[in-house]
């Protein structure tokens, strides 16, 4: 099972990343759990200084911006 963490303090972009991640996971039929992390200290433990951030299986794959759906698909399958 893939573990996905959406890092963000609750801003609009962070919420949007969580939403599009859920949509892409569902659309692709991936076996994945999605966790939203809003605690700034936990976010900083990943070395992320700009949100939103995306962590896939323990690896930070995106910070500071929203990906397009195609890019997100690639991030989740690579």
Backbone angles phi, psi at 42, to 5 degrees: -70, -40
Distance between terminal CA atoms of the chain?
14
- Any catalytic annotation for residue 4? no
Catalytic residue from among 2, 3, 9, 11: 11
- Any catalytic annotation for residue 11? yes
Catalytic residue from among 6, 7, 14, 37: 14
- Going edge to edge, which strands form the sheet with 2-7? 32-37, 2-7, 53-56, 59-63
Enumerate the active-site residues.
Answer: 11, 14
């Amino acid at each position: 099972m893939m573990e996905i963490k959406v890092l963000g303090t609750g801003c609009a972009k962070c919420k949007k990343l969580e939403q599009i991640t859920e949509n892409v996971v569902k659309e692709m039929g991936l076996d994945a759990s999605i966790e939203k992390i809003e605690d700034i200290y936990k976010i900083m433990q990943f070395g992320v200084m700009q949100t939103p951030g995306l962590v896939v299986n323990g690896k930070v794959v995106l910070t500071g911006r929203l990906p397009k759906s195609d890019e997100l698909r690639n991030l989740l399958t690579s």
